[in-house]
Structure 1
């Protein structure tokens, strides 16, 4: 299997995010019927747990954010994420 280093991952993921952003502009102009921002987190390391916690606190404070999904390759961390943050979906 071909391992991807961090630099190549960042380049490819930022390119994908940029491409996805260009397609979502018409939805912003038209006004979305769903005002809740649904966020997915990749991994459940220290930074990802921090981000997930912030999203849950924003949601609890009445802000329109929802933790839609967490993706993690380590099954132990995935189980921890499920217990801590209760996302809508989990991906392994």
Structure 2
């Protein structure tokens, strides 16, 4: 199912809260951007995109790794996320889909 997700699936989530859930830490993250990678993919290959998330805890940065995310109507996925710097209310993260 992960391989079928597209940027268009995430656009309705902009401004919505998604859940980052680990046994030792949980955080509400807001989907702030969906960036479509401009390069045309080969036939039959999904166009790449990036989902940017805004954290809600300025005291806790999630290190790069595979994490469980609850993405509302899209369901729960294990995704690779990495921190891209501080944001207004916490740290900013990106999830890259190739």
Normalising to structure 1: TM-score of the pair? 0.24
Larger radius of gyration: 1
Normalising to structure 2: TM-score of the pair? 0.24
Which protein is richer in helix relative to its size?
1
Which protein is richer in strand relative to its size?
2
